[in-house]
Structure 1
Amino acid sequence: MNWSDAMVWKPSRTGEVLWLHLDRVFTGLDDWLQKSLNLNEATAELLLSNETRPRAFREGESLITVLRGINFNPGAEPEDMIAMQIWCDGNRLITLRRRRLQTPRDVFAELQAGNGPTSAGELFTLLAEQLVVKMNYSIVDMNDRIDEMEEDEDTDTDELLSEIATIRRNCLGLKRYMSPQHEAMLTIQKSPPGWLSEADLSEIRETGERLRRYLDDLDVSKESALVLQDDLNNRAAAKMNQTMYMLSLVAAIFLPLGFITGLLGINVGGMPGVNSGSAFWITCAALVVLMGLLFMVFRKLKWL
């Protein structure tokens, strides 16, 4: 179907549904939404906006929903979630996005294979479900990486701390959109349009519960990352304290030795042993004995 046909499409028989998947920057889309679909300016602006939080509301029998999906495009971060706006009146379902999303392509592939949804309600619920299901991939990946870092003894601590900070930012970024998306699912259940069947509402309810579980998993991931971060910081602090402790012991041992050698090195008259050939060796032996005594004292005090 070309664009001119899509603009004037009307269902020719009961149950016929048109799905349009559009780029939000398509020329003339704003005017078409307002004139052909009779949308008010605020709703049309919401459907074409780039920065939107997930939400859902009704306008008559039309359902307007803003959802977010994981960005699987190359070089993207998991928390960089892509917005997809959905408008549906039971006969036409319009999805709008700016960047490419995996979910519409997967649903389209099912339809091409002769499977998938057979009504507007089933199509809407499948799109919402697939967007949520794919969030689990990023959460599982983060949890697996946290488990690997807990057992990692070779990687530099600073590198691990940097990666943990990234994971915590990802958790916060995902939760920023997943929480309002869960509220959007609840809103649809409270005030569903007539073209959503009981089976569709059941699927939406299950999608909301799944999203709730993912939010709980995110909290666990964030807490696990925080515990691991504290553990690494404690290990680094303990290692530094051990190093400082050993340096303090070395300084404590050589402090009296340095005092004696400094005292013997002053150029004043009357320094004993200046004219004796064996004075140097006697002094060295005395220093060795003193060092041994210091070691014995430190051992007894359990400093070593």
Structure 2
Amino acid sequence: MDGVTVWRIAPDGVGTVAETDATAPADWSAEGALTWVHVDCARPGARDWLDAVPLDPLVKRALLAPETRPRCTTHGDGVLINLRGVNLNPGDEVEDMVSLRMWVTAGVVVTVQLRRLMAVRDVMDGVARGQGPDGAAELVARLALRLADRAEPVVAGLNEKLDTLEDQVIEGLSALDRRGLADIRRVAILLRRHMAPQRDALSTFEIEDMPWIRPHDRARLREATERMTRLAEELDAIRDRAQVVHDQIMDARAELMNRQMLILSVVAAIFLPLGLLTGLLGINVGGMPGAEDPRAFWIVSGGLVLIGLALVLWFRHAGLLGRR
């Protein structure tokens, strides 16, 4: 059926695609092989096929839930795991992470995706090349590692963009891309919101007391957990660095505004006494000195110029002019 793929993976890693007619979980198991049932609910008919499968109602609700967060929960002899991967589909936002829901038992792994997830395709390509996992826990570890592989370039891209903005701040450029900085912070926060719980989910699965989780499976799961931890820490660092850059931009803008206000204040302080004098001399009352002297205008103008120069020199001596 389109949208439903059933892989039979032998212990040597060689995988073959089986028929999808069987809808009973008991028919999925194969002696000495791992069965991986992948359901792509973005394809027509896949959800209906999964609805018809006689799985435990709780398991089915978890696999088909419209919204999920990364978690790991034991249920009977199996484990329910929800993971998230970056959205690399064309036209979608990378931070709109795609969920991968899994029902994991000793010999059968059921994975469900509502949108295309490239990490799943990466693992399937490995199975097709004869490099498949040798157990259920190993399959979970490979999926988690591929999710981390796909997320690392996205996080690295955020670091590079932030490095560019930090360089611009150091160079003193005032026309910074504040919208781009806000986008970096938003993407980092949204990615981190799922990376941290995903780390906890993988750590929980690693320590679950299931007989089919072998020591080397736990080592691979520990590696996946550490990579998720590193990604979460890098996202924390990106968020903090973006906040520092934002603060530096705001400080630079405040300093520029203060300098401009200082210049306006000094100019106003210079012209305030001059305006007072000209206003006083312009009153229309008798007894104004120099009213009949033709040289009075030039004398007053010269005096105003001298007073203005004296004020400029005084403000410069006080350090209010000429500062950088």
Q: 2:51 matched to 1:31?
A: yes
> Match for 1:227 among 233, 244, 253?
244
Q: Is the 8 A contact 2:101 2:112 kept in 1?
A: yes
> Match for 2:114 among 88, 98, 103?
98
Q: CA 1:179–1:107 in 2, change beyond 3 Å: closer, same or farther?
A: same
> Match for 1:47 among 63, 80, 83?
63
Q: Match for residue 165 of structure 2? A: 149
Q: Match for residue 283 of structure 2? A: 266
Q: How far apart are 1:192 and its partner, in Å?
A: 4.7
Q: Is the 8 A contact 1:69 1:84 kept in 2?
A: yes
Q: How far apart are 1:224 and its partner, in Å?
A: 1.1
TM-score calculated relative to the size of structure 2: 0.83
In structure 1, how many angstroms separate the alpha carbons of the residues matched to 2:34 and 2:310?
97
Q: Match for residue 79 of structure 1? A: 95
Q: Percent identity?
A: 35
> Match for 1:217 among 219, 234, 251?
234
Q: CA 1:117–1:155 in 2, change beyond 3 Å: closer, same or farther?
A: farther
In structure 2, how many angstroms separate the alpha carbons of the residues matched to 1:267 and 1:192?
102
> Match for 1:18 among 26, 36, 52?
36
Q: 2:300 matched to 1:283?
A: yes
Moved over 6 A (4+): none
Tell me whether 43-52 or 186-195 shows the greater mean CA deviation. 186-195
Q: How far apart are 1:205 and its partner, in Å?
A: 0.8
> Match for 2:190 among 173, 178, 203?
173
2:28 partner SS: coil
Q: Is the 8 A contact 2:41 2:112 kept in 1?
A: yes
Deviations 1:93-146 (A, max 9, x none): 221111211111112222233334344333221111111232222222122111
TM-score calculated relative to the size of structure 1: 0.89
Q: CA 1:129–1:266 in 2, change beyond 3 Å: closer, same or farther?
A: same
Tell me whether 88-97 or 207-216 shows the greater mean CA deviation. 88-97
Deviations 1:14-53 (A, max 9, x none): 22423323217834345334x1x3x1x2321111012111
In structure 2, how many angstroms separate the alpha carbons of the residues matched to 1:149 and 1:136?
20
1:56 partner SS: strand
Q: How far apart are 1:164 and its partner, in Å?
A: 2.5
In structure 1, how many angstroms separate the alpha carbons of the residues matched to 2:71 and 2:278?
79
In structure 2, how many angstroms separate the alpha carbons of the residues matched to 1:288 and 1:5?
100
In structure 2, how many angstroms separate the alpha carbons of the residues matched to 1:120 and 1:47?
17
Q: Is the 8 A contact 2:40 2:115 kept in 1?
A: no
Q: Match for residue 121 of structure 1? A: 137
Deviations 1:38-72 (A, max 9, x none): x1x23211110121111112223322110011111
In structure 2, how many angstroms separate the alpha carbons of the residues matched to 1:301 and 1:126?
70
Whichever structure has more helix as a proportion of its residues is: 1
In structure 1, how many angstroms separate the alpha carbons of the residues matched to 2:81 and 2:49?
18
Q: Is the 8 A contact 2:39 2:46 kept in 1?
A: no
> Match for 1:200 among 213, 217, 231?
217
Q: How far apart are 1:248 and its partner, in Å?
A: 0.6
Query: Alpha carbon RMSD of aligned pairs, Å?
Result: 2.3
Q: Is the 8 A contact 1:87 1:93 kept in 2?
A: yes
Q: Match for residue 59 of structure 1? A: 75
Q: 2:270 matched to 1:250?
A: no
Amino acid at match of 2:276: F
Q: How many residues align?
A: 298
Amino acid at match of 2:116: R
Q: How far apart are 1:169 and its partner, in Å?
A: 2.2
In structure 2, how many angstroms separate the alpha carbons of the residues matched to 1:261 and 1:220?
61
Q: Match for residue 10 of structure 2? A: none
Q: How far apart are 1:228 and its partner, in Å?
A: 1.2
In structure 2, how many angstroms separate the alpha carbons of the residues matched to 1:260 and 1:93?
92
In structure 2, how many angstroms separate the alpha carbons of the residues matched to 1:203 and 1:91?
18
1:28 partner SS: helix
Unaligned runs of 5+ in 2: 5-19
In structure 1, how many angstroms separate the alpha carbons of the residues matched to 2:21 and 2:262?
80
In structure 1, how many angstroms separate the alpha carbons of the residues matched to 2:34 and 2:99?
27
